[in-house]
Amino acid sequence: MGYIAETKWHKKQPTQKWLNANGFKYSKDYSDKESDAYIYIFPVHKYKLMSLLECVIVVYLDNGDVIVKIQDSKTKESYPQFSYDSQGNHKNFIEKIEKIILEEFSRLGIKEVNDKVRLKKKIQYSKFTKTFTYHCPTCGVELNKKVKECDECEQPLFVPTKEELESAKKEVYIHE
């Protein structure tokens, strides 16, 4: 899968006025009782002056969630290679499309969402051995000092700062 297809995206606090001013149109197809959706369509691949593939960006007004879809400009059918073939014959082509989409995301202020919030490792200092031990705050597994993700639960982790290590010598645990 390509980077854009496998990543979650978000627009912070979208308003109907902002969406309309930036070319988004209300979409009955993507809207439901709970939330209104707005779509923005732009070409990502042309032949001569004719658009062959277009990107559809869907932004939900209530929470700012974003959906990205590539479709055939004529038939409006989904372009499956965008979602499934980032390593095969279409890799360079998909990368060009993704570059165009990322430029548009930048213009529109659409950002990548990190599903898992990075947590600080639990730090314990042993006065007897004068060593630190690190534990995942989610599952409790002991960790290597330099690891940035728990192998057990795949929780992203922050590496502790020098100040946190110094305060760990005074306290038993540090965590958020």
Backbone angles phi, psi at 20, to 5 degrees: -65, -40
Q: What is the pLDDT of residues 23-47, one digit of tens each?
A: 999 999 889 888 899 999 999 988 8
Higher pLDDT, 113 or 42: 42
pTM as predicted: 0.61
Q: Structure tokens of 160?
A: 């502790």
Q: What is the mean pLDDT of the chain?
A: 76
* Angle, CA 69 vertex, CA 113 and CA 25 arms, to 5°: 90
User: Using CA atoms, how far apart are residues 97 and 69, in angstroms rounded to an integer?
Assistant: 11
pLDDT computed for residue 23 by the predictor: 94
Higher pLDDT, 107 or 88: 107
Which residue has 């959906």 as its token pair?
67
Least-confidence region, from 5-9, 15-19, 98-102, 109-113: 5-9
Give the number of other Cβ atoms within 10 Å of residue 112's Cβ.
13
**Residue 8 · residue 115 · CB < 8 Å:** yes
pLDDT computed for residue 94 by the predictor: 78
| Mean pLDDT value of segment 71-97 | 72
Up-side HSE of residue 146: CA atoms within 13 Å toward CB?
A: 0
What would you measure as the largest C-alpha separation in the chain, in angstroms? 74
Least-confidence region, from 36-40, 69-73, 126-130: 126-130
Backbone angles phi, psi at 43, to 5 degrees: -75, 140
| Mean pLDDT value of segment 75-94 | 68
User: Using CA atoms, how far apart are residues 69 and 56, in angstroms rounded to an integer?
Assistant: 5
Amino acid (one-letter) located at 137: P
Q: What confidence category does residue 172 fall into, taking pLDDT thresholds of 50, 70 and 90? A: very low
Burial (CB < 10 A; 0-12, 13-18, 19+), residue 102, is middle
